[in-house]
Structure 1
């Protein structure tokens, strides 16, 4: 007797595989971290990443390269948000990535309180090129912190009979880790964002903030997040530790190389070492990295 999935089960699996293909194509670092997740949360985190990546691609170049102007990009983004919310409501989408995300949202309690701010931040990229402190914070909340909160919903709720709210300390840690990730990426991509997209997320061009101030904020967020990683479910800690340590290493390297034109990266050998440390259960390395980068 065959045990291969059929019908809706086959469609669900195909949607999940499509989401996994997106993360494999777009992010080796995040893909490495997700492989450290247990089988309970891993497919759900991939489902979240896939939808987030597609929305990001709509506003960050590929849609424009296909000939869409800002109004058309906004329309496509609106369609994606509407289809996402409809799929969560009805339990099905003809868009495989949306279908995968909707399954995760329904099981893990990811609702419009997180999805709405995310799409709002994506729309901001179509209308705001220069950010001050307030607009930066709003953008980072919607583009990164809520993604961390979506993942936290997965960590707490995947496989449970019904979703529950995460503890407040974990909520704060997820937000701050997401913010640190985003600010690191802003610093890494500073020259590209300016030259290719005409964007200044950090206010560095206007003097609203300094590079050192941004790095200090990043390290503070990483330290706060590291403090609560031990409180995560056991099948999530290794992956979150590996991701945390990767970005802590990037923060250290950004302090050492202040050139906005060079995209700082972590060598593959270092990534492998960080992943191995996380797999063996070592604590996040933020304190040593902060001293090394000081």
Structure 2
């Protein structure tokens, strides 16, 4: 089958663009908060960050319900996840995948210097969801590194290297900030989704850590991340500030409601105010109530 429109890209350029559009559609469908923050990224970086998050979302959905709802057992889910990991690594190497989301991620990985050292820990954490229901401190930390901190590191690679001829290593302080921001995001999600994780998925990610201990960790991580946001490229700072501040607002609400009756969320008018404040260039807000 063939066909083309003379005013549009063709061949690999068209395929690349379609893959990026597919990744953007995944994010638009699954995350209003992330969609809001990603729109504040400069055009140099925006598609790459969407590509990273789209792959992460697809992998997450394999282990968090939809695959099971389709009738798949844990062993089949693991096999599909393994296949997705293999295809992702192959796409990075060869520059093409028949899976549009994987293709988009592979293009980002090749341009921005995202390698196996970040991809494999992510899939390891996703596989953990198929085998581990109760976490302790050590398994929590390992899970958070693979499921969240490496996503922050992948995004940092895009922040630093998008549009560059040769990828370079980010500064150590930016690496630490990216890891701690990712960890804070994940711990906020663990706290506000604890009832769902326990009731629907049978998982406890926080183990014996008290709510106060988790909140203190979140606040410390958000504070450390906020300190290095001014060191990011200018076309990334507003978006990262907005994402930081949305989760800081969630942390404040979680502290104010020690036993929330429903899932804590940031109302849309507050999200809009957070985005406006970040867009105007204000410094990140504190996560302390």
* TM-score bin, normalised by smaller chain: over 0.9
Summarize the alignment of residues 175-186 of structure 1 with structure 2, pairs less than 5 Å apart.
175-186=179-190
Q: Which runs of 4+ in 1 moved over 4 A?
A: none
In structure 2, what is the equivalent of residue 59 of structure 1? 63
Maintained 8 Å contact 1:152/1:174: yes
Cα displacement (A) at 1:50: 0.4
In structure 1, what is the equivalent of residue 219 of structure 2? 219
Separation in structure 1 between the aligned mates of residue 63 and residue 92 of structure 2, nearest angstrom: 23
What's the TM-score once normalised by structure 1's chain length?
0.96
Cα displacement (A) at 1:4: 1.5
Maintained 8 Å contact 1:229/1:240: yes
Secondary structure, aligned partner of 2:165: coil
Separation in structure 2 between the aligned mates of residue 258 and residue 285 of structure 1, nearest angstrom: 21
Summarize the alignment of residues 80-99 of structure 1 with structure 2, pairs less than 5 Å apart.
80-99=84-103
Cα displacement (A) at 1:101: 0.2
Summarize the alignment of residues 63-78 of structure 1 with structure 2, pairs less than 5 Å apart.
63-78=67-82
Equivalent residue in structure 1 for 2:40, among 22, 36, 43: 36
Q: Deviations over 1:15-44 (max 9, x none)?
A: 000000000000000000000000000000
Separation in structure 1 between the aligned mates of residue 131 and residue 277 of structure 2, nearest angstrom: 42
Separation in structure 2 between the aligned mates of residue 158 and residue 241 of structure 1, nearest angstrom: 19
Maintained 8 Å contact 1:108/1:157: yes
Q: Does 1:158 align with 2:162?
A: yes
What's the TM-score once normalised by structure 2's chain length?
0.97
Separation in structure 2 between the aligned mates of residue 111 and residue 226 of structure 1, nearest angstrom: 26
Separation in structure 2 between the aligned mates of residue 142 and residue 285 of structure 1, nearest angstrom: 27
5+ long unaligned stretches in structure 2: none
Q: Does 1:187 align with 2:191?
A: yes
Cα displacement (A) at 1:261: 4.6
Query: CA RMSD of the aligned region, Å?
Result: 0.9
Secondary structure, aligned partner of 1:101: helix
Q: Does 1:23 align with 2:32?
A: no
